[in-house]
Structure 1
């Protein structure tokens, strides 16, 4: 990825500082901020993100994004507290093969969602079938645009990205999920995992369905990876598993990964990697405390219950959701996370003391 320019990073950092100062945080939060060592987290890689304590409809948002030990930062994040009529929008993008696809989605997916959801009107009507149709249409159109862009700009065919988006209303949250990021809800301190990862390994129902779909499309799974290569079965981009499957096979021959005889038996019947989202609808209520949306750079090193307990303790100690987001990213680094880490927390204001 090409990181944000130093000038833009300074601008966003200054904006966060000004916006945070305008709210007069609780005394405990201010003390914690003063005592806290300089963070390894970068919270500026976002589009239209909130200030560190910005509020919309009683919801406070925090987010953090850190490169970790990876050579490149391939994650992206968008937070739009007032993005849709009566609903807030947040999304995490976990790129691979470079930052191109994650950046494209960071810039474009929200626009597609606004168009297909008619500015939020479809969400407000709360007709499940209409919402599912709109979100699937938005994701499909975003993927088609990305695939076309990757082909016409001759970007690397390994470029792709997951995308998990939440649409947060006053009493419900809708989730559109592609890939292996995760959304977790704290309900009176109890952990509710709201999404399932799209990975072609394991014995879960979701994984077995993904493996079957890949095989029916003419592909194969080796060592938990599609064609022995990619470990996520749903993603945007990844044209080598969509429009350039034959080129992918020939490249494998040239690299000695398989033989001409092997590929002569392959007959593709569809895309091996797809961007069709799983869509979830969750009723919140007064026992819903906060939501954590994060890339697998967190979840591969911290389980859901530990993350919920960590954030809950943070919010009970100082009430600053931005500090909690950064501290959670720090905790993942302390657990030797080897991936980029991106975290969004929506504090619903009901965390029990």
Structure 2
């Protein structure tokens, strides 16, 4: 479906363009053929965002939530256009330990952001330092309210949730990010990853910073998990790593996780998990096509370049953002994704999808990679045969 001339003229960048150099992720995205097939229960749901929504400058939204091989659906997403003059709000929440924290944050985080940003006037003002400060305050306020709610809950609730939020305007977008969901911007088919996962393992700069922060706070990491428990280092909720850290230690002794002698040496200085977001400002260039926001249920099974290529070809075929979103989620399930998956796509309204040529370079690249792999395997077999003599 071709976009109108008016739509194509919208969303041109103001000031310096955002550089769309290619980036790669460090996660493994290839599954062995021996892996057992997982029976998944899934549903595609558009939440607050019908495909026809064109609230800001002709931007069109699509969204889907899929339940993979999990007992409970702990993901959620929100797209809202009310309350923020000149900007739309989109967020993906990835819960753990239950879905109560996600349900609380779905409305509360939005309210805190709207209040802090004065209904969008601060965003329109463009003072990035002020925006960054206010968004961090909004995230902190939402986390404190959630912790208080969890503490007063009749039942013991140790749930938590990541949150990745984007504010999309006519010529600017802001990202406020806690956890391991990711935001990717497609620029002429090149995937630009705008976020780095807050995980306490790996050798990236972000991971090393998280590992150091957790240790300085008095925590420890076992097999990439804080206190051998959780694999994200920034999140909302998770009361046992914040206001009930000492109770968590005592409970661990009862459960046989560690000894009294071990916990006698532990001294906590700060919270082990924090809801302090990284905040980014992006000025999309004229080659910016769409924004892709998704939980790690997608990214653990499909890298950013693959996802961008998939969505581009979908939009080229039919131009329907909602259909492209749902197809991307199904593709992740086809790759045996075991996690819940939530995806939001914002078509920025300046690409003529009907007349966009197919991306042939991806096939050539993938063929080259396949041939290189075959070559390496062949050399390995040859060397092994020589060593056997």
Unaligned runs of 5+ in 2: 3-40, 357-389
Q: Is the 8 A contact 2:63 2:326 kept in 1?
A: yes
Alignment partner, residue 295 of structure 2: 295
More contact order relative to length (CA 8 Å, sep ≥ 6): 2
- 1:214 equivalenced with 2:214 (yes/no): yes
In 1, are the aligned partners of 2:241 and 2:272 still within 8 Å (CA)?
yes
Contact in 1 for aligned 2:200/2:224 (Cα 8 Å): yes
Q: Say which SS state the counterpart of residue 315 (structure 2) adopts.
A: helix
* 8 A contact 1:60–1:348 mirrored in 2: yes
Partner of 1:10: none
Q: Is the 8 A contact 1:50 1:81 kept in 2?
A: no
Instruction: Say which SS state the counterpart of residue 79 (structure 1) adopts.
Output: strand
**Structure 2: distance between partners of 1:90 and 1:333:** 23
Contact 1:41 1:330 in 2 (8 A): no
Once the two structures are TM-superposed, the CA of residue 76 in structure 1 deviates from its matched residue by 1.0
| Secondary structure of the structure 1 residue equivalent to 2:81 | strand
Equivalent residue number for residue 105 of structure 1: 105
Q: Among 35, 42, 45, which residue is 1:43 paired with?
A: 45
- How far did 1:68 drift? 1.2
- Residue 81 of structure 2 aligns with which residue? 81
Match of 2:117 in 1: 117
Alignment of 1:203 with 2:203, yes or no, is: yes
The CA RMSD over aligned residues, in Å, is 1.3
1:83 deviates by 4.1
Give the Cα–Cα distance (whole angstroms) in 2 for the partners of residues 234 and 42 of structure 1.
28
2:72 aligned residue? 72
Per-residue CA distance 1:10-65 (angstroms, 9 max, x = gap): xxxxxxxxxxxxxxx78xxxxxxxxxxxx943215x3xx12122111210000000
Residue of structure 2 equivalent to 1:319: 319
Residues of 1 paired with 2:143 and 2:61: CA distance? 28
Aligned residue runs from structure 1 range 57-206, under 5 A: 57-206=57-206
| In 1: Cα distance, 2:205 partner to 2:273 partner | 18
Report Cα offsets for 1:184-221 as digits up to 9, x if no partner. 00001111000000000000000000010000100001
How many residues are treated as equivalent by the alignment? 314
CA–CA separation in structure 2 for the residues paired with 1:162 and 1:320: 29
Whichever of the two has the greater Rg, that structure is 2
Distance 2:81 2:338 in 1: 30
Counterpart for residue 275 of structure 1:
275
Mapped partners of 2:263, 2:331: distance in 1: 45
Secondary structure (helix, strand or coil) at the match of 1:207 reads helix
